[in-house]
Structure 1
Amino acid sequence: MSMKNWSKTSYRNKTALQQPGWPDREQYEKVVRSLSALPPLVFAGEIRDLKARLAQVAAGRAFLLQGGDCSEEFARCTAPNIRETLKVLLQMAVILTYAGNKPVVKVGRIAGQYAKPRSSDTETVNGENIPSYRGDMANSIEATPEARVPNPERLLMGYHMSAATLNLLRAFTRGGFGSLHRVQAWNQKFVKQSPMGRNYERMAKRIGDAIKFMETIGIPTDTPQMREVQFFTSHEALFLGYEEALTREDSTEAGGWYDCSAHMLWIGDRTRQLDGAHVEFLSGVRNPLGIKVGPDHDPDTMLALIERLNPENEPGRITLITRFGAGVVEKHLPPLLRAVKRAGCHVIWTCDPMHANTFSAESGRKTRSFDDILSELQCFFELNWAEGTIPGGVHFELTGDNVTECIGGGRQLSAEQLNLRYLTTCDPRLNAEQSLEMAFQIAEMIRS
């Protein structure tokens, strides 16, 4: 479909996968209409700012850090939880900027990551077959048939939770919390006594000393660049009715349609069909777009998808988020790097080393190994260097909480310790200490 025939509802003529089976369509349509009348969560100007920064990433002049919860929960939309997630992302960004010598574009998986794709419509719990949990914006994690019935009122709740999260993030990042004068205050208590925490403290002290030196010789440090942080939001564009309702036409001279549910959206392995509803919808909005790429991809199809979503080959528009797994990244990534480079496509190459490295421990808990995550990242950088392409960013599922969900790291968390603080409702996340350790490792790769 050409752009002149695109509208924010044209996706309805296509097959839409991974949608909840809303039992009451009339109620669902009413909720979508209500969402359409509510204010946008983000603004077109902010989205354009992010795209301009991502164009710098594509050119190798900046680095993309994208991270946050695998699946946000309504019950955890609290000031402490939001603050701790922001803290660890700010810490990682400072490490990457200071130790890696490159500006960092900060994008959170936050304020909208309430929907999850699933491999099956149903699951068996305690011998009973019930609908799968599709994220808090669709149904409840509670494992009963009644709680798993999709409820469109949850879309409205997701909007309000996202608005509250964004309100707090803006207060933190523009009100002084994100100031470089406070880098030491971001270190969580449980991290401070760890090797990574002590490394961070030493780095933060050097930054503090540099700021004091600047003040001593009369260089102003109370500037927006020192006091404020640019922080952007992202989520998977999954529930299309919600995305449609928050898509607005820019009222400025720039014009165009923007999905104002988040600054950046991504499309997953399960919904990136060329003739599918998700690709149709995203082809018409001007947000930066991520595309998850797993082992089952076909390079020719990926080129066709990039062309469909970015026909003008605009830098900063497309981020390819590779997720192959430590054992097979060397098999799958080089042919894709070569095909995209040969076609002359402007893309950002990033690595999601989490998803394809998931396995079940003996206890039955899903987990990921720190060593596998790091191994895939190292291969990602080395393969990009070998092909003459730019390793532009990383994409993590992480939390600022002291969870025990991924094994390994500096403390050598074992599979037997997973039950200590295993809090995720979906996929295992790096905790704050593991995230900092990963950031120091990545900084070394960037500097190379």
Structure 2
Amino acid sequence: MLQQLDSLDHWRNLPIKQQPVWPDPDAVAAVSAEIATLPPLVFAGEVDNLREKLGNAASGRAFLLQGGDCAETFAGATAEQIRNRIKTVLQMAVVLTYGASMPIVKMGRMAGQFAKPRSSDSETRGDVTLPAYRGDIVNGYDFTEGSRQADPQRLLKGYHTAASTINLVRAFTQGGFADLREVHSWNKGFAQNPANQKYERLATEIDRAIKFMEAAGADFDELKRVEFYTGHEGLLMDYERPMTRIDSRTSLPYNTSAHFLWIGERTRDLDGAHVDYFSKIRNPIGVKLGPSTSPDTALELIDKLDPDRVPGRLTFITRMGAGRIRDALPPLLEAVRDSGATPLWVTDPMHGNGMTTPTGYKTRRFDDVVDEVRGFFEAHRAAGTFPGGIHIELTGDDVTECLGGSEEIDEAALATRYESLCDPRLNHMQSLELAFLVAEELEKR
């Protein structure tokens, strides 16, 4: 076991990116040591179950739906906001399940999505330069010297906030809230619009089908609860490494901060610390691939992270941009297909489509998000591979952060309810609209 732990820590000898500058290294080490003694947030058996389900998705027998905040905040970890995010993902999953006649693997970008990579280590406003905001688990968003200083106590708060979030997730998804016979109730509290009306019609069809099955004597125990997994970018090693434990049953290392973790576009260096660490843990893992990714890089990432070709082990999350996906994705699909490897392919139609308005709001056009999703499906149909999932930044609230959609949010409306501290998210209605589009694409397969 000691040898295994030594292997887990080889990343410490390698180049590492996107880590904060802690003012007191000893304080960080003490907090990390304390986190290592705290209970796991997820369990090895759950992680293994997810890997099996992602293997089904990779082979075309299921579809992954992953959604949640760009960056969770401590203040946003309220019961209402968590419930609304879960409701939105459940509604999207119902649309996909019913429309595509396929099992949907449900996963939140939540209970750990507190750290964010940044394009610059600092931010300047006027004549003041301060460290960049790296997420609530590192520093504060307020543009003051005290707020922007990296604080290791935030690591502990991140753990406890994640723990309370995942407790609520389990309660909502296992305690009757997610009962499929309550599909109508999931719309309560949301403003009405064409997407909601379309969902209501679908819910009525599901009601009729369930009543018929009940009359026929079907047992609906399985409809009372759903399996809901958690995932986040495994970025901050002072948090991820102490959350890594050796499972007593298998004697293998699992990262117990989440069921699924991914490596970002900025930290996927083949010889870097993140790839080395991720290669050692048993969790299913993802890698973000941008438009500059070469086929050789994709193949080398497979060899490094999934040398044994374990079904469900590796997910490629493509983030190309609507204008580039139809050119950039096909060479990757073809090279990986021809190699015989079968990673799960998932589209992230959000991160390649960012823009800033003249008034300074970071936003995305809903039409660009839709176009990238369509391009993703078109590329897979042409290559004969399976488009296995979608990874989106969303909120269950009626925010105004992304332009367009059936509500026709314009630049002037962004200021009405723009709440994200990092990147813009699809609101509840835009998320539902996207789910119907994806269901239509899956029906063409």
Is TM-score (shorter-chain normalized) higher than 0.5? yes
State the partner residue of 1:34. 34
C-alpha displacement of 1:190: 3.1
C-alpha displacement of 1:126: 3.6
- Counterpart Cα distance in 1 of 2:109 and 2:54: 16
State the partner residue of 1:17. 17
Q: How high is the TM-score relative to the length of structure 2? A: 0.98
Q: What's the C-alpha RMSD, in Å, of the aligned pairs?
A: 1.1
Q: What SS does the corresponding residue of 2:150 show, helix, strand or coil?
A: coil
State the partner residue of 2:142. 142
Residue 70 of structure 1 pairs with residue 70 of structure 2: yes
- Counterpart Cα distance in 1 of 2:292 and 2:23: 33
- Counterpart Cα distance in 1 of 2:339 and 2:211: 49
Moved over 6 A (4+): none
State the partner residue of 1:287. 283
Q: What SS does the corresponding residue of 2:19 show, helix, strand or coil?
A: coil
C-alpha displacement of 1:5: 8.5
State the partner residue of 2:405. 409
C-alpha displacement of 1:38: 0.2
Q: What SS does the corresponding residue of 2:99 show, helix, strand or coil?
A: helix
Opposite residue 304 of structure 1, the aligned amino acid is E
Q: What SS does the corresponding residue of 2:148 show, helix, strand or coil?
A: coil
Residue 99 of structure 1 pairs with residue 99 of structure 2: yes
TM-superposition CA deviations, 1:17-71 (whole Å, max 9, x none) = 1001011011000000000000000000000000000010011000000110000
- Residue pairs, 1:243-258, within 5 angstroms: 243-252=240-249, 254-258=250-254
Opposite residue 102 of structure 1, the aligned amino acid is M
State the partner residue of 1:108. 108
Q: What SS does the corresponding residue of 2:64 show, helix, strand or coil?
A: strand
State the partner residue of 1:220. 219
State the partner residue of 2:381. 385
Q: How high is the TM-score relative to the length of structure 1? A: 0.97
For residue 415 of structure 2, the aligned residue among 404, 419, 430 is 419
Alignment size in residue pairs: 442
- Counterpart Cα distance in 1 of 2:348 and 2:188: 25
State the partner residue of 1:200. 199
8 Å contact 1:369–1:408 — kept in the other structure? Answer: yes
The structure-2 alpha-carbon separation of the partners of 1:214 and 1:311, relative to structure 1 and needing over 3 Å to count, comes to: same
TM-superposition CA deviations, 1:201-236 (whole Å, max 9, x none) = 111111112212222232222x1x110100000000
Q: What SS does the corresponding residue of 2:330 show, helix, strand or coil?
A: helix
C-alpha displacement of 1:197: 0.6
In terms of mean alpha carbon deviation, does 137-146 or 210-219 score higher? 210-219
State the partner residue of 1:90. 90
- Counterpart Cα distance in 2 of 1:295 and 1:22: 33
- Counterpart Cα distance in 2 of 1:412 and 1:131: 36
State the partner residue of 1:238. 235
C-alpha displacement of 1:404: 0.2
- Counterpart Cα distance in 1 of 2:381 and 2:359: 39
State the partner residue of 1:341. 337
State the partner residue of 1:444. 440
- Counterpart Cα distance in 2 of 1:348 and 1:405: 29
8 Å contact 1:67–1:109 — kept in the other structure? Answer: yes
- Counterpart Cα distance in 1 of 2:211 and 2:190: 28
8 Å contact 1:399–1:432 — kept in the other structure? Answer: yes
Residue 399 of structure 1 pairs with residue 406 of structure 2: no
Any stretches of 5+ residues in structure 2 without a counterpart? none
C-alpha displacement of 1:188: 4.1
For residue 322 of structure 1, the aligned residue among 313, 318, 322 is 318
For residue 292 of structure 2, the aligned residue among 272, 276, 296 is 296
Opposite residue 7 of structure 1, the aligned amino acid is S
Opposite residue 249 of structure 1, the aligned amino acid is I
- Counterpart Cα distance in 1 of 2:105 and 2:190: 27
State the partner residue of 1:119. 119
State the partner residue of 1:157. 157
Opposite residue 236 of structure 1, the aligned amino acid is E
8 Å contact 1:403–1:422 — kept in the other structure? Answer: yes
C-alpha displacement of 1:127: 3.1
8 Å contact 1:6–1:284 — kept in the other structure? Answer: no
C-alpha displacement of 1:258: 0.3
- Counterpart Cα distance in 2 of 1:352 and 1:339: 20
8 Å contact 1:405–1:421 — kept in the other structure? Answer: yes
For residue 308 of structure 1, the aligned residue among 304, 310, 320 is 304
- Counterpart Cα distance in 1 of 2:267 and 2:160: 26
Opposite residue 96 of structure 2, the aligned amino acid is L
Opposite residue 71 of structure 2, the aligned amino acid is S
Any stretches of 5+ residues in structure 1 without a counterpart? none
For residue 367 of structure 1, the aligned residue among 363, 369, 372 is 363
Opposite residue 206 of structure 2, the aligned amino acid is I
C-alpha displacement of 1:305: 1.3
Q: What SS does the corresponding residue of 2:287 show, helix, strand or coil?
A: strand
Q: What SS does the corresponding residue of 1:56 show, helix, strand or coil?
A: helix
- Counterpart Cα distance in 1 of 2:161 and 2:316: 28
Opposite residue 238 of structure 1, the aligned amino acid is L
8 Å contact 1:8–1:247 — kept in the other structure? Answer: no
C-alpha displacement of 1:16: 1.4
C-alpha displacement of 1:4: 6.5
The structure-2 alpha-carbon separation of the partners of 1:235 and 1:274, relative to structure 1 and needing over 3 Å to count, comes to: same
Q: What SS does the corresponding residue of 1:161 show, helix, strand or coil?
A: helix
